[in-house]
């Protein structure tokens, strides 16, 4: 507690602003010592008397006389006050909702202390960026920011969400909690983190960590976004549809919608750069795939050409061997007999060939030496030659029903003679066929009712890095440790 007094409490209103409260989960009643639970008090001053007593000055913002005012030691009218203490502190006794209490009683009576850092020095610099994060279903830490510190400096790192108070009613179904770890670039393990914020269930909009001194180097911020979904709440699209259903001008809703667009537009530059980077990455992948396909196609073509050349060479070689062997085996007498037979066949007149004729049976050819006879029997063809196409029986012809004009009226409505095109391409004029068909069900109707839509949680996160290094560089990162953009124009706070 002494360290906290020396480093922060004694610098109230100079470097820090404090708000104190107690009974956050209590019944919000006034305790016997006068402190109201569930109510915030403003810390106005912290002084140390010459006697060594440390005192804290507080004020009740409600300003109610006699309610919520400290009634213990160093309260107005208590015995601890002396003329020297009044003169030293410049305090005036009275019921003006301002009171003093000892530092020991302050730490015992108040359980929550909100601290806000003031960057009043001219040497403080700030870098900030806004990004949009696709929150996954499973909780995980992933790299989103990296900054380079060129010299040793105190540092304050803040991660925050959008302020939902400016677009109340358009919150949607998702609520987010932020957390992060600060690592050195070469130490990504969880146990090697330099610092991490102390989470608080009451402060969900931002988380921060302050380091009195940080050495120069490259640092990476591992971000973790936890999301909860309320399926019973209305989505942004449903709210807009409900409000615009009657097409009535609603200035208040238009103002809230404009605030919603402005808030989410903070990450527009990041999203544009992200889309551009993804398109370039997709184009590079497409070019690489096309190049690979061309290489594979050229390899297949060359392989096919080589295979065709080898096959043609093999066929040419086999043909040459077959021809040389035939010239050696066939005698001249057979060739002469074949020539004589062809001559006889050419000089003969028109010969009528009937089924079973002996002309269809080829004669055996005798070899020169008469050693062997090769005979081939041909079976006679019995009956007539089969037809190429079988005759089909004609389809029965149905008689067309007689049309009686007296049964119908020319004044019948158009719907009775509508042409209905069925699925099989036929045309029907009867409405009974249309009614007998199974009704076509829409895909949306078959889905189960009450099932929530797909997970689509997007959180807009902003980072602010306060330091005394004017050359600090802040990078936003994408999946794969790629830099999207760099922000180094740190402005003075």
One digit per residue, the tens of pLDDT, for the chain of length 493 reads 788 998 889 889 888 899 998 877 666 677 788 888 888 899 999 999 998 999 999 998 887 666 778 989 998 888 999 999 999 998 888 767 889 999 999 999 998 888 888 888 888 999 999 999 989 888 888 888 999 999 999 999 999 999 999 999 999 999 999 999 999 988 888 788 899 988 666 678 899 999 999 999 999 999 999 999 999 999 999 999 988 888 788 889 999 999 999 999 998 888 888 888 888 888 988 888 888 888 888 888 888 888 887 877 777 766 665 655 555 454 444 444 444 454 444 444 433 444 444 444 444 444 444 444 444 554 555 544 445 445 555 555 555 555 554 444 444 444 433 433 334 444 444 444 433 444 455 555 445 556 778 888 999 999 999 999 989 999 988 765 555 555 554 666 5
In degrees and rounded to multiples of 5, residue 307 shows phi and psi of: -65, -40
CATH class of the domain defined by 2-117: alpha beta
CB atoms within 10 A of CB 241: 11
How far is Cα 110 from Cα 31, in angstroms, rounded to an integer? 12
- The one-character DSSP state at 115 is E
Instruction: Choose the catalytic residue: 39, 112, 264, 487.
Output: 39
Fold of 125-271+455-492: Jelly Rolls (2.60.120)
How far is Cα 420 from Cα 434, in angstroms, rounded to an integer? 7
Give yes or no: 39 in active site: yes
How far is Cα 359 from Cα 393, in angstroms, rounded to an integer? 38
> Can you give the pLDDT at residue 486?
57
CATH 2.60.120.380 segments of the chain: 125-271+455-492
> Can you give the pLDDT at residue 489?
46
Q: What is the pTM of this model?
A: 0.62
Q: Which of 108, 131, 121, 119 is nearest to 56 (CA)?
A: 108
How far is Cα 85 from Cα 74, in angstroms, rounded to an integer? 10
How far is Cα 272 from Cα 261, in angstroms, rounded to an integer? 16
For the beta sheet containing 112-117, the strands, ordered from the edge strand earlier in sequence to the opposite edge, are: 98-102, 54-59, 39-48, 16-22, 112-117
- The one-character DSSP state at 463 is E
Strand-pair partners of 48? 54
> Can you give the pLDDT at residue 27?
66
CATH 3.90.70.10 segments of the chain: 2-117
> Can you give the pLDDT at residue 62?
80
């Amino acid at each position: 507690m002494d360290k906290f007094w020396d480093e922060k409490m004694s610098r109230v209103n100079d470097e820090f602003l404090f708000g104190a409260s107690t009974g956050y989960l209590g019944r919000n009643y006034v305790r016997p010592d006068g402190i109201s639970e569930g109510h915030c008090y403003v810390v106005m001053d912290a002084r140390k008397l010459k006697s060594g007593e440390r005192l804290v000055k507080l004020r009740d913002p409600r300003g109610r006389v006699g309610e919520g005012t400290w009634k213990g030691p160093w309260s107005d009218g208590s015995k601890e006050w002396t003329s020297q203490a009044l003169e030293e502190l410049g305090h005036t006794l009275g019921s003006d909702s301002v009171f003093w209490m000892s530092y020991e009683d302050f730490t015992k009576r108040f359980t929550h202390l909100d601290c806000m850092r003031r960057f009043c020095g001219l040497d403080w610099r700030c870098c900030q960026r806004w990004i949009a994060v696709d929150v996954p279903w499973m909780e995980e830490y992933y790299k989103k920011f990296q900054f380079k510190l060129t010299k040793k400096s105190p540092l304050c790192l803040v991660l925050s969400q959008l302020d939902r108070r400016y677009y109340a009613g358009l919150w949607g179904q998702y609520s987010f909690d932020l957390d992060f770890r600060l690592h050195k670039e070469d130490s990504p393990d969880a146990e090697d983190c330099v610092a991490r914020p102390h989470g608080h269930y009451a402060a969900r909009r931002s988380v921060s960590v302050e380091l009195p001194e940080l050495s120069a180097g490259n640092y990476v911020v591992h971000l973790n976004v936890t999301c909860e979904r309320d399926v019973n709440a209305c989505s942004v699209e449903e709210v807009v549809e409900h409000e615009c259903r009657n097409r009535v001008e609603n200035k208040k809703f238009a103002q809230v919608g404009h605030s919603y667009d402005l808030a989410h537009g903070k990450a527009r530059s990041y999203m544009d750069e992200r889309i551009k980077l993804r398109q370039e990455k997709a184009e590079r992948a497409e070019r690489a795939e096309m190049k690979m396909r061309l290489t594979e196609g050229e390899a297949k073509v060359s392989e096919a050409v080589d295979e065709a050349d080898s096959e043609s060479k093999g066929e040419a070689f086999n043909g040459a061997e077959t021809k040389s062997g035939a010239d050696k085996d066939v005698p001249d007498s057979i060739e002469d007999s074949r020539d004589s037979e062809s001559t006889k066949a050419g000089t003969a007149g028109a010969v009528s060939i009937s089924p079973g004729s002996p002309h269809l049976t080829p004669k055996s050819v005798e070899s020169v030496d008469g050693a062997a006879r090769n005979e081939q029997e041909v079976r006679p063809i019995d009956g007539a030659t089969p037809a190429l196409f079988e005759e089909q029986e004609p389809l029965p012809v149905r008689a067309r029903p007689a049309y009686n004009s007296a049964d119908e009226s020319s004044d019948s409505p158009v719907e009775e003679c509508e042409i209905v095109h069925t699925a099989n391409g036929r045309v029907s004029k009867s409405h009974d066929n249309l009614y007998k068909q199974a009704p076509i069900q829409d895909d949306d109707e078959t889905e189960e009712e009450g099932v929530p839509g797909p997970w689509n949680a997007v959180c807009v996160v902003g980072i602010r890095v306060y330091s005394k290094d004017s050359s600090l560089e802040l990078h936003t990162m994408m999946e794969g440790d790629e830099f999207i953009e760099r922000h180094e124009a740190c402005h003075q706070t």
